[in-house]
Amino acid sequence: MNYSAGFTRSPGHFTDRITADGRDGWPVEAGRYRLVVSRACPWASRSLVVRRLLGLEDALSLAVADPVQDEGGWRFTLDPDGRDPVLGIRYLSEAYRARERDHAGGVSVPAVVDVPSGRLVTNDYHRITLDLATEWRALHRDGAPDLYPEALRDEIDERMESVYRDINNGVYRAGFAERQESYDAAYGRLFARLDQVSEHLSTRRYLVGDTITEADVRLFTTLVRFDAVYHGHFKCNRNKLTEDRVLWAYARDLFQTPGFGDTVDFDHIKRHYYQVHEDINPTRIVPRGPDPRGWLTPHHREELGGRPFGDGTPPPPPPAGEVARPLQEG
């Protein structure tokens, strides 16, 4: 990546799809695949939220990588003996090399791995969650929401594209800029889009329609990290999330909705950004704050109407082994 010319996010190199008809050679099948994530990563967090909302925990097992990579990349040091108990590997890169022996590119999360062969299937972070919502329908829980309703897809896609370009990726463009003009441009686009989204959400509970959609999931994973890392670490400091009345209430509404906040681990988030990005934070000191308890304060967004799950129901509590770190300061 040439940061001096402006931050560019690489697309997923492995873009096979897991589909109901198996047209790419990977049919939807309960228990066959393992989702590898880091709770620190906003792109991986999308898949964590969607998997929970749709009730796919039993159908798609979960591996959580250490938030702090070493020279070998994403590692499974959170598991006994430093190995993923299902895949039997120490590093996610081993699944990449099982798919492509001479793979020399990046190793990213989220990644879906075929358990029988140990081979990576896909790291296409844009497509994984959309396929979970559409191609995996036969394995959804009873009462699962429709996160990508066909009648609203054009509007959802439009919202997601602008949010991705200016907000999801915009914070990275600002944070990794190596020239003042690159930073200034990213900073300007970021806050112009946040202002536009804030105005849009001032009279409606969700981004598109009156229920949660994929668009909300994608915005949430950036907003939940904003004050903890992007405001200071990435110099996105015109204002904090907590200082925007609408966006702060919207983010709290989602955080308190089952399937969102119960996937968030602020410890993992802060340790990853502040300890891995040594070029930005050479001391690797992890800040103690901000106090996360504000995420549980009343938001009053229900006054705008809307039904989080439409005609469906909230997901049950997460499995015991997947409970994220409780909210605590420092």
Sign of CA pseudo-dihedral 56, 61, 66, 69:
negative
Predicted pLDDT of residue 196: 98
Cα angle 295, 288, 183 (rounded to 5 degrees) comes to: 85
Q: What is the pTM of this model?
A: 0.95
List 112's β-bridge partners, or say none: 35, 122
Cα angle 253, 55, 319 (rounded to 5 degrees) comes to: 85
Instruction: Name residue 3's amino acid.
Output: Y
Cβ neighbours of residue 226 closer than 8 Å, sequence gap 6 or more: 171, 236, 240, 241
Under DSSP, the state recorded for 92 is T
* Catalytic annotation present for 236: no
**What is the spatial distance between Cα 129 and Cα 96, in angstroms, rounded to a whole number?**
20
**What is the spatial distance between Cα 195 and Cα 199, in angstroms, rounded to a whole number?**
6
Predicted pLDDT of residue 2: 34
**What is the spatial distance between Cα 266 and Cα 272, in angstroms, rounded to a whole number?**
10
* Catalytic annotation present for 41: yes
Predicted pLDDT of residue 1: 35
Q: Of 133, 53, 34, which is closest to residue 316 (Cα–Cα)?
A: 53
Cβ neighbours of residue 328 closer than 8 Å, sequence gap 6 or more: 292
Which DSSP string do the residues of 182-237 spell out, in sequence order? HHHHHHHHHHHHHHHHHHHHTS-SSSSTTS--HHHHHHHHHHHHIIIIITTTT---
Instruction: Name residue 216's amino acid.
Output: D
Query: One digit per residue, pLDDT tens: the chain, 330 residues?
Result: 333 344 555 555 899 999 999 999 999 999 999 999 999 999 999 999 999 999 999 999 999 999 999 999 999 999 999 999 999 999 999 999 999 998 888 999 999 999 999 999 999 999 999 999 999 999 999 999 999 999 999 999 999 999 999 999 999 999 999 999 999 999 999 999 999 999 999 999 999 999 999 999 999 999 999 999 999 999 999 999 999 999 999 999 999 999 999 999 999 999 999 999 999 999 999 999 999 999 999 999 999 999 999 999 999 999 988 988 767 654
Please, are residues 109 and 28 in contact by the beta-carbon 8 Å criterion?
no
Predicted pLDDT of residue 72: 94
Under DSSP, the state recorded for 165 is I
User: Which of the residues 33, 91, 125, 172 is marked catalytic?
Assistant: 172
